[in-house]
């Protein structure tokens, strides 16, 4: 599977409107008389015009009236899960424009409910009930600094100061100590451009870079679902286009690339170690876990701390309630890497669910590798069990949870049943990780002393077959809206959903094997280029910092926004540039320094354990 093609599929989301203009016109004719889902007064003008401004956002729920022709049209649109809920309207009002004296109290709620109920009934003949979501006054922007905000600012200044001092010392004196080496910008930039370790598969890092870039583009467009959009009919027409399920399937299963990549990298590393050291040592897996945590936790904790303190000031405005982040209350679920299971509807750093799932799969993979290390003869049995689990577990979850085989609804992810029950858990993503590990086992069994031409030929044929199956399974998603299958304990959905997810992991693992055996080529050279390695090394920081950047951009965008290619390109470009800059700073000031210091601490602790063990062994021999 060529990731450039995948990137093209994702970017085509922004261009799909041009392909379905006729359908959009037909849709607009049927929906032109409907109430607009989003209507917002200008927040900045309200704040500038009135000293004691009061700006409120309410959600209006239209009451059913079967005798009303408009309600019949709304009911028809609401029955299609790809459409917005047309019986729920959002209104942002500068209350000072509608009443001489307004104070943020019960009076504001009564006023907005009375005004909107009267207006909507007079326009559409439908009764309604308004729920007040949030209000803003000048006091909202005059809050004093909290102790948490002050502490974060002090930590950020301390990191900046340490980086500057270490860099200056390195330039004029040299890297004479561990701290100088750890925090020096010159040293860390040099590490970023270093060639990968010998015997590694450097093209995997190039693929990681392309995958991270694609994920960043997709994530920069996802919040558009929550944004107040002027032309909702355009977005709905695009989502209802025949090609959309195919594109959405690619977006949905894109994360399987990273699970497969993680599986093969972990498997190759473990198996290479087993060949060098046949005697089983549990310490090896403890060391791998500690080194992983040393790399992940410092930067992760700093971003979580930012989200719990300063983020609320960045997103102040009429969209604040739409982009709530629960790091103040639920930060512990992230640091324990269980946020994909615990409180997923109120997440801290929503995108970070992947880190929890990835660590959980790493622990599962470690248990399997322990079995393989202690019992090499069980290799074939273990591979068969992994394949059975990869095919059975996702299907069983779909069947037991009565969810769909893939995501295809225009819905908020935090409340979307399929996203919570099937997309987030690690056990439903186990297939791709297992296929990656199986690819690693096969790769380490190849005898490179013999001719690999036959093996390469067989793998390419297998990859071609798997691509045909992948394309066929994904093409079938275009027919799913017309296939009326009861989701309640559906065997069809279970089998189809399991095969669909497994097909991605299988294709990726075969692609990795084909590239590993392809020898020198232009593609391998491009993927192994230092620029690709550079981006791959900061990809973790890109992933954890993107949430703050993307949501910060969206919450400060004037609303309502026009959904279209131009705005999507602007938001994606701004998100990419700001995320890249912030990620590089985070890598230089936090990830690289603390990884170096932490790894030295891990090595020191484990060396002490080894020394104590050797001493006990000598004493036992003497006895």
User: What's the pLDDT score for residue 623?
Assistant: 39
Query: Are 514 and 507 within 8 A, CB to CB?
Result: no
Could you give the strand order of the β-sheet that contains 128-136, starting from the edge strand earlier in sequence?
Answer: 38-40, 88-94, 55-62, 128-136
- The pLDDT score that the predictor gives to residue 620 is 43
Which of 121, 141, 161 is the last residue before a domain boundary? 141
Give CA–CA dist 519/189, Å, rounded.
29
Which residues make Cβ contacts (< 8 Å) with residue 157, sequence separation at least 6? none
Contacts of 465 (CB under 8 A, 6+ apart): none
339 & 199 share domain: yes
Domain match, 228 and 99 both: no
What is the band of 605 on the pLDDT scale with cuts at 50, 70, 90? confident
* One domain, residues 556 and 424: yes
Closest-CA residue to 497 (of 402, 393, 404): 404
CA distance 614 to 140: 63
Q: What is the pLDDT of residue 298?
A: 97
Q: Flag whether 588 is in a domain.
A: yes
* Same domain assignment for residues 487 and 581: yes
Q: Are strands 88-94 and 38-40 parallel, antiparallel or unpaired?
A: parallel
Residue 19 belongs to a domain: no
Question: What pLDDT, on the 0 to 100 scale, is given for residue 29?
Answer: 45
Instruction: Note whether 360 and 492 are same-domain residues.
Output: yes
CA distance 95 to 56: 7
Q: Which residue has the higher pLDDT, 359 or 114?
A: 359
In whole angstroms, how large is the CA radius of gyration of the chain? 27
Average model confidence (pLDDT) across the chain: 86
Q: Please give the pLDDT value at position 240.
A: 82
86 and 229 in a single domain? The answer is: no
Range 541-559 average pLDDT: 91
Show the tokens assigned to 471. 């394309």
Nearest CA to 556 out of 575, 542, 582 is that of 575
> Which residue, of 110, 141, 172, is where some domain finishes?
141
State both tokens at 358. 């990835």
More confident residue, 113 or 584: 584
Q: Domain check: are 465 and 583 in the same one?
A: yes
If one counts the domains in the chain, the total is 2
| Residues 399, 334 within the same domain | yes
Confidence of residue 104 (pLDDT cuts 50, 70, 90): low
Could you tell me if residue 29 is inside a domain? Answer: no
pLDDT confidence bin for 17, thresholds 50/70/90: very low
Beta carbons of 299 and 544 less than 8 angstroms apart: yes
- Dihedral-angle region of residue 317 (phi above 0 means left; psi in -120 to 50 means alpha; beta otherwise): left
Give the model confidence (pLDDT) of 384-415 as tens digits: 999 999 999 999 999 998 888 887 665 667 77
The pLDDT of residue 342: 94
Is residue 130 located within the same domain as residue 205? no
CA pair distance 212, 7, nearest whole angstrom: 11
Tell me whether residue 148 is in a domain: no
Domain boundary among 102, 126, 141: 141
Identify the three-state secondary structure at position 147.
helix
Range of the domain at 99: 38-141
Asked if residue 15 is part of any domain, the answer here is no
Q: Give yes or no: residues 134 and 210 share one domain.
A: no
Give me the percent of the chain exceeding a pLDDT of 70: 88
pLDDT digits (tens, 9 = 90+) for 136-194: 888 888 888 899 999 999 999 999 999 999 999 999 888 778 899 999 999 999 988 87
Domain identity same for 359 and 435: yes
Does residue 355 contact residue 333 with C-beta atoms inside 8 Å? no
**Within this chain, do residues 402 and 504 fall inside the same structural domain, yes or no?**
yes
> Which of 394, 412, 287 lies closest to 345 in space, CA to CA?
412
Within-domain flag for 284: yes
4 domain residue, yes or no: no
Is residue 507 scored above 90 in pLDDT?
yes
CA–chain centroid gap for 496, Å, is 24
pLDDT winner (highest mean) among 139-148, 205-214, 448-457 = 205-214
- Is residue 173 domain-resident? no
């Amino acid at each position: 599977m060529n990731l450039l093609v995948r990137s093209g599929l994702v970017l085509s989301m922004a261009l799909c409107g041009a392909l379905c203009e006729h359908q959009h016109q037909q849709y607009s004719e049927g929906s032109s008389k409907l109430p607009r889902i989003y209507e917002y007064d200008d927040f900045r003008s309200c704040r500038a015009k009135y000293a004691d401004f009061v700006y409120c956002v309410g959600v209006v729920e239209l009451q059913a009236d079967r005798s009303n022709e408009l309600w019949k049209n709304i009911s028809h649109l609401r029955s299609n899960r790809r459409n917005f809920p047309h019986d729920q309207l959002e209104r942002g009002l500068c209350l000072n424009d509608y009443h001489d004296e307004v104070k943020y109290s019960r009076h504001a709620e009564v006023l907005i409910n009375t005004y909107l109920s009267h207006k909507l009934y007079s326009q559409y003949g439908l009764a309604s009930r308004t729920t007040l979501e949030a209000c803003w006054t000048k006091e909202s922007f005059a809050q004093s600094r909290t102790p948490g905000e002050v502490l974060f600012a002090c930590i950020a200044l301390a990191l900046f100061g340490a980086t500057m001092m270490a860099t200056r010392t390195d330039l004029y004196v040299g890297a004479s100590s561990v701290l100088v080496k750890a925090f020096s910008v010159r040293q860390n930039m040099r590490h970023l451009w270093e060639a990968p370790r010998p015997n590694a598969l450097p093209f995997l890092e190039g693929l990681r870079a392309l995958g991270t870039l694609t994920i960043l583009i997709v994530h920069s467009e996802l919040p558009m679902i929550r944004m107040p959009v002027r032309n909702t009919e355009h977005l709905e027409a695009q989502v209802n286009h025949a090609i959309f399920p195919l594109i959405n399937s690619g977006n949905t299963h894109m994360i399987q690339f990273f699970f497969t990549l993680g599986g093969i990298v972990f498997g190759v590393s473990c198996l290479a170690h087993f060949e060098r050291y046949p005697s089983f040592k549990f310490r090896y897996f403890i060391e791998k876990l500690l080194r992983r945590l040393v790399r992940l936790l410092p930067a992760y904790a700093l971003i979580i701390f930012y989200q719990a303190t300063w983020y609320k000031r960045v997103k102040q405005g009429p969209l604040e309630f739409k982009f709530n982040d629960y790091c103040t209350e639920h930060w512990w679920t992230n640091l324990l890497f269980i946020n994909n299971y615990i409180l997923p509807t109120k997440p801290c750093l929503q995108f970070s669910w992947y880190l929890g799932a990835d660590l959980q799969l790493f622990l599962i993979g470690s248990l399997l590798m322990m079995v393989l290390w202690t019992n090499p003869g069980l290799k074939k049995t273990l591979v068969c069990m992994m394949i059975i689990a990869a095919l059975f577990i996702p299907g069983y979850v779909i069947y037991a949870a009565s969810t769909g085989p893939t995501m295809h609804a225009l819905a908020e992810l935090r409340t979307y049943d399929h996203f919570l029950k099937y997309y987030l858990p690690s056990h439903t993503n186990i297939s791709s990780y297992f296929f990656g590990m199986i690819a690693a086992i096969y790769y380490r069994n190849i005898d490179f002393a013999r001719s690999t031409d036959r093996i390469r030929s067989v793998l390419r044929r297998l990859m071609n077959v798997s691509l045909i199956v992948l394309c066929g399974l994904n093409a079938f998603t275009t027919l799913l809206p017309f296939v009326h299958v009861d989701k309640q304990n559906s065997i069809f959905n279970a089998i189809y959903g399991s095969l669909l997810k497994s097909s991605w992991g299988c294709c990726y693992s075969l692609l990795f094997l084909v590239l590993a055996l392809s020898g020198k080529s232009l593609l391998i050279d491009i993927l192994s280029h230092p620029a690709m390695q550079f981006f791959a090394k900061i990809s973790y920081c890109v992933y954890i910092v993107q949430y703050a950047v993307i949501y910060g951009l969206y919450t400060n965008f004037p609303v309502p926004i026009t959904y279209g290619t131009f705005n999507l390109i602007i938001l994606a470009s701004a998100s990419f540039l700001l995320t890249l800059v912030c990620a590089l700073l985070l890598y230089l000031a936090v990830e690289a320094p603390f990884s170096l210091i932490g790894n030295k601490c891990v090595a020191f602790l484990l060396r002490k354990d080894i020394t104590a063990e050797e001493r006990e062994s000598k004493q036992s021999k003497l006895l």
